[in-house]
Amino acid sequence: MHLTKEEERLLESDTPATRKAMELLVELGDIYGAEEMVEIESAQASGISYKSIGDPGVEFLEGFAEEGAEVSVTTFANPAGMDFEQYEGMGVSEEFAEQQRRIRDALKEMGITLSFTCTPYLAGNLPHRGQHVAWAESSAVSFVNSVVGAKTNREGGPSALAAAITGRTPKHGLHLEENRRPTHRIDVDVDLDDQSEFAALGSWAGRIVEDGKPYFTGIDAATTDELKALGAAMAASGAVALHFVEGVTTDMEPPEHVDSATFGAGEREEEHAKLNDGEDPELVVIGCPHCSPEEIADVAEAVEGETLDSDLWVCTSGAVKTWADRNGHTETIEAAGGQVLADTCNVVSPIEELGYETSATDSAKAANYLPGFGNQQVVFDDKRSLVEGVIEDE
């Protein structure tokens, strides 16, 4: 692998963390056959929930910070295991909170922006088309590759952190234009009426294409929230990091000579049923990926003046929560008995320790992951139906 003089210097840095970061990237570059590094504009650090990394992760991050780890590009943090200000209201233990705060402090010492969100593009870190970045959370990777047109591989926690420190990543995979071509064609032959139907399509398509790059036809229009739901679902049921939606995210001609499949009304109903294995949720969670301001406003409108007979979490970034606070949406949701949580979600928080057995979600990503946590049962439906379903009868 060709290294520039600057990269050679980083490899011999007096700062142990910098040296280790560069060594890791060179090793990864050799594994993937990269010929050179590419400079990046931003990074996204994942693997920072105490639930995911436990005590060894806390000690690694603290040790790395002590060894001089410091990011050299804008680096946003993925969601943590709790809302730092409302963890008690979530039911998170003080022991968990203490370890999560140690992780936060280590990230801060490294210069990482304490954004704690999987939608950094809604919260102040929006790359532009063609920029190389090193992001790690799978739905965010999908969004910046597919909707924004930036270029990133699906990084792991350590490789994203190493890229953040050195400001570069091995140039392979989706950093190369020749690898950014559709591998499958998916013809959508049914109306997608809301965000959960985009999620169901993504969940179905991800299983078919696995780590391929699907090209969708038949979708006339999609909102930003619908596109983030589609990408998140495909990243969870498969490992899709790049997709194309004809006329919406790309002007590219449909691919020829690739495998194709059709998503019709039958597939839509079947996928919906597949994602739905519970009833009577004790907790409704909206915000996977993290909510936009519009999604929070929708929830607030649905619960205004009502009382909920289940818990409700509306998960978002701290930045978007500030807007929700200012616009009175947080107050409206809290008055109904719900919570607007920043920094976390029901997948990266210790949901299995919080007394919930059945959760409701409009996210196919969450519906794919939740059954793995203490056999959580899942109710999957669109946002409005879920919220209206837990409003107390008069």
CB of 129 to ligand F3S, least distance (A): 23
* Binders of ligand F3S in range 247-266 (CB under 6 A): none
**Position 81 contacts ligand F3S (CB under 6 A):** no
CB of 304 to ligand F3S, least distance (A): 24
Q: Which of 72, 74, 43, 45 is closest to 60 using CA atoms? A: 45
**Nearest residue (CB) to ligand F3S, 79 versus 182:** 79
Segment interacting with ligand F3S, rule: CB under 6 A, options 107-115, 181-189, 317-325, 340-348: 340-348
**Nearest residue (CB) to ligand F3S, 188 versus 345:** 345
DSSP string across 63-87:
HHHHTT---SSEEEEPP-SS-TTTH
**Position 233 contacts ligand F3S (CB under 6 A):** no
* Binders of ligand F3S in range 301-320 (CB under 6 A): 315
**Position 366 contacts ligand F3S (CB under 6 A):** yes
**Position 232 contacts ligand F3S (CB under 6 A):** yes
Exactly one of 90, 283, 288, 314 binds ligand F3S (CB under 6 A); that residue is 288
Classify each residue of 54-71 as buried b or exposed e, where b means 16 or more C-beta atoms within 10 Å of its C-beta: eeebbebbeebbeebbeb
Q: Which of 307, 288, 293, 317 is closest to 380 using CA atoms? A: 288
**Nearest residue (CB) to ligand F3S, 238 versus 289:** 289
Q: Kindly provide the residue ranges of all beta strands, DSSP E only, lying in the chain, ordered along the sequence.
A: 37-39, 42-45, 74-77, 168-170, 184-188, 214-217, 244-245, 259-263, 283-286, 311-316, 339-342, 358-361, 377-380
State the Cα–Cα distance between residues 363 and 310, nearest whole angstrom: 18
**Nearest residue (CB) to ligand F3S, 214 versus 287:** 287
Question: Which pair of tokens denotes residue 101?
Answer: 């705060």
**Position 122 contacts ligand F3S (CB under 6 A):** no
Q: What is the dihedral angle through the alpha carbons of 14, 20, 26, 29, rounded to the nearest 10 degrees?
A: -150
**Position 160 contacts ligand F3S (CB under 6 A):** no
CB of 125 to ligand F3S, least distance (A): 15
**Position 348 contacts ligand F3S (CB under 6 A):** yes
CA terminus-to-terminus distance, the chain: 69
| Chain contacts with ligand F3S (rule: CB under 6 A) | 79, 118, 137, 139, 232, 288-290, 315, 345, 347-348, 363, 365-366
